[in-house]
Structure 1
Amino acid sequence: MENLDVHEGKTTAIISYITFIGTIIAFIMNNDKHNSFAAFHIRQMIGLSLFSLVNSFIIGRYGGIWASGIIGIGLFVLWIIGFIGATQGEEKKVPFVGDLFQDWFKNIG
């Protein structure tokens, strides 16, 4: 990753981690620039957001509040890892599912 890509895309990458609305805003901001660093983090956050929705609506409803809470804490830890990677200018994939997110959403960016 070139240092210029990281520098130019860092703000957009950080914005992508600020709620789902931030992810949408970052996606729109990156639509014109096509910065690979920002796109990497947008893909990570889209995946985390989708997992969070599944946790809230499906696991929370059918698995119980305890299961949903434990998974929610895990998703929060993954969010922190991704956010720290964005602020430090690293393409750090979230553990366990980061590769999946990059593969599933490879057309984004």
Structure 2
Amino acid sequence: MAEVPPEEPKKTSLGMDENIEGLLTYVLGALTGIIFLILEKESDFVRFHAMQSTILFIGLWILQIILGAIFGPLGTLVALIEIVVWIVGMLKAYQGERYKFPIVGDLAEQWVEKV
């Protein structure tokens, strides 16, 4: 039986592979999420990850500020969660997976169509 070569990653409207551009949506959190939401016009995969990154990191930053102001150490815990989520988001996007974080993933799917 002949080996089937791996499928080439799809190119985006910006000329990058989808998985690379998806990874980049998480690199600077909400900032790169917003940038790719504005720049990427064709790839649903990249736009989903950009929207998820934006919602996720804005939400976590707000939570970190509130919990940090009220309960101190909980703000630090949220910061550690942000690091884990950041790494998971980049890995899943790079692997070409449309991974949905709880709650945020569903919101991203709904909102990306409206933007």
TM-score normalized with structure 2 length: 0.71
CA RMSD of aligned residues (A): 2.4
Which 5+ residue runs of structure 1 have no aligned equivalent? none
Greater RCO (Cα-Cα under 8 Å, separation 6 or more) = 1
Aligned length: 103
For structure 2, the 5+ residue unaligned runs are 1-8
Contact map agreement 2:34 2:51 (CA 8 A) in 1: no
Of 59, 62, 66, which aligns to 1:51? 59
Overall identity of the aligned pairs, in %: 26
Distance 2:75 2:112 in 1: 25
What is the aligned counterpart of 1:72 among 53, 74, 79? 79
Question: Comparing both structures, which one devotes a greater share of its residues to helix?
Answer: 1
Partner of 2:10: 4
| Largest Rg, 1 or 2 | 2
* Most deviating of 40-49 and 87-96: 87-96
The answer to which of 11-20 and 93-102 deviates more is: 93-102
TM-score (norm 1): 0.74
